[in-house]
Amino acid sequence: MDSWLWWVGGALVLAAVEMLSLDLVLIMLAGGAVGGAVTAAAGGEFWLQIVVACVVAVLLLFTLRPWLLRHLKQRMPLVETNAAGQVGRLAVVISEVTETGGRVKLSGEVWSARLPDDGIPNSSGRVLPGSEVRVVQIDGATAVVEPATSGSTQPEQPA
């Protein structure tokens, strides 16, 4: 069996797996495999096929992929999920929140929470139970919150 068919088979496998990841990395590697297949079909030595495949894949990764990602992000907004999707939402304080800790109910779940560190030692910042707060950051498993402005009752969806 000719070696170019192995390269084409590898490219097809990489392209198929790319459909699961949608990260545009494996498809660039598949492009490199196509470069190896062309070199093999032209009668190039095996070491040359490897070099061409690597060079083409690296060029695609560092030139075409960033351009494609930039244009895809312009066409489809990135929707944050999981913890990052909580930023901007409103929560209700269930135990006093200070710069060192507290608890809030956020999206139906109880989260540990704290106020942002404003750099002032022994600051008396605290938010009492029942108050509304807005999530400004997720730090590990802790929601960093600040008092919500009055008039906002609906959780905001991040843009």
Per-residue model confidence as pLDDT tens digits over 28-65: 999 999 999 999 999 999 999 999 999 999 999 999 99
Q: What is the arithmetic mean of pLDDT over 121-146?
A: 82
CB 112 within 8 A of CB 102: yes
Q: How far is CA 113 from CA 1, 105, 153, in A?
A: 63, 9, 20
CA distance 58 to 125: 52
Per-residue model confidence as pLDDT tens digits over 108-127: 889 899 998 765 444 557 88
What is the model's pLDDT at position 89? 87
Overall pTM > 0.85: no
Per-residue model confidence as pLDDT tens digits over 9-28: 999 999 999 999 888 999 99
Burial bucket for residue 50 (CB in 10 Å: 0-12, 13-18, 19+)? middle
Q: What's the mean per-residue pLDDT of the chain?
A: 84
Residue ranges of domains in the chain, CATH in brackets = 3-75 (no CATH), 82-147 (2.40.50.140)
Radius of gyration of the chain (CA): 26
